Structure 1
Amino acid sequence: MDVKRVKQILSSPANIPVSYNGVSVWIESCDEESAVAQVHDITNPHETVQVNISELQE
């Protein structure tokens, strides 16, 4: 995935499925300059991790 698509997903009112390493995640935010997104596992919203945007899949 790229930064542009992550920003589209963040601004979309729809629930767009995204995964990281085969796990469904929710994107909380993205840093365009470092190409990193803050995400959390849909089943564990209290634990966020930073991941490279290129590793996210739609």
Structure 2
Amino acid sequence: MNAQRAQEIASSPEQINVTYNGVQVYIQRVDENNETARIFPLDSPQQEQEVPLSSLEET
């Protein structure tokens, strides 16, 4: 996923389906400089992690 699309999803008031390793996640914020995103699984908000944007997939 590119940084611009990830930022659009993070800013969207609607829920947009995004997966990381097959798990649906919520994008908290995007770091365009490092091409990473702060995410967490929808069913486990306490499991935040920083992942490469290239590993995110819009479904």
What is the TM-score when the length of structure 1 is the normalising length? 0.95
Percent identity among equivalent residues? 38
Alignment partner of 2:7: what SS? helix
Aligned twin of 2:12: 12
TM-score, length-normalised on structure 2? 0.93
Q: What is the aligned-residue RMSD (CA, Å)?
A: 0.6
Cα distance in 2, alignment partners of residues 45 and 28 from structure 1: 10
Task: Tell me how far apart the structure 2 counterparts of residues 34 and 12 of structure 1 sit (CA, whole Å).
Answer: 21
1:28 corresponding residue in structure 2: 28
Q: How far off is 1:12 after superposition?
A: 1.1
* SS in structure 2 at match of 1:15: coil
Corresponding residue of 2:52:
52
Q: Which amino acid aligns with 1:14?
A: E
Cα distance in 1 for partners of 2:43, 2:10 equals 19
Which 5+ residue runs of structure 2 have no aligned equivalent? none
- Residues paired across the two proteins, number: 58
Counterpart CA distance in 2 for 1:28 and 1:10 is 6
Name the SS of the counterpart of 2:39 in structure 1: strand
Between the aligned partners of 1:28 and 1:36, the Cα distance in structure 2 is 11
The CA distance in 2 between the partners of 1:13 and 1:40, in whole Å, is 17
